[in-house]
Amino acid sequence: MIKKQILLNLSGLAIFIFLLSIEKIKLSWEIRTLHNNYENLRIENENLRDLNLKLTTQFHIENSPAKIEMIAKDSLGMKKKKPKKIILNEK
């Protein structure tokens, strides 16, 4: 009877240790997956920051007064108007 009880306890402990080992493996796999996802997101974030900087720079270049003036002269055939002289009659 006592041997049977000891054998039953040892079997229960072995099953419990086995289940804990499986849980540890699952948690290790999840941690590795999350770490890989974090690295991928970090790299993607850096790429998006670079792209944002390039697009911001391109926006400012395209909308600069010099670029608009060049397009107006070349494409639309516009010419810069000379300023008028203002004569003040002082008395």
Give the confidence band of 44 by pLDDT, cuts at 50, 70, 90: very high
| Residue range of the domain that includes 45 | 2-74
86 assigned to some structural domain:
no
Give the confidence band of 80 by pLDDT, cuts at 50, 70, 90: confident
Cβ atoms of 72 and 65 closer than 8 Å? no
**Pairwise CA distance, residues 61 & 71, whole Å:** 13
What predicted TM-score, i.e. pTM, was given to this entire model? 0.57
37 assigned to some structural domain:
yes
82 assigned to some structural domain:
no
**Pairwise CA distance, residues 67 & 82, whole Å:** 20
Domain count, the chain: 1
Residue with tokens 């054998």: 7
83 assigned to some structural domain:
no
**Pairwise CA distance, residues 83 & 86, whole Å:** 9
**Pairwise CA distance, residues 11 & 19, whole Å:** 12
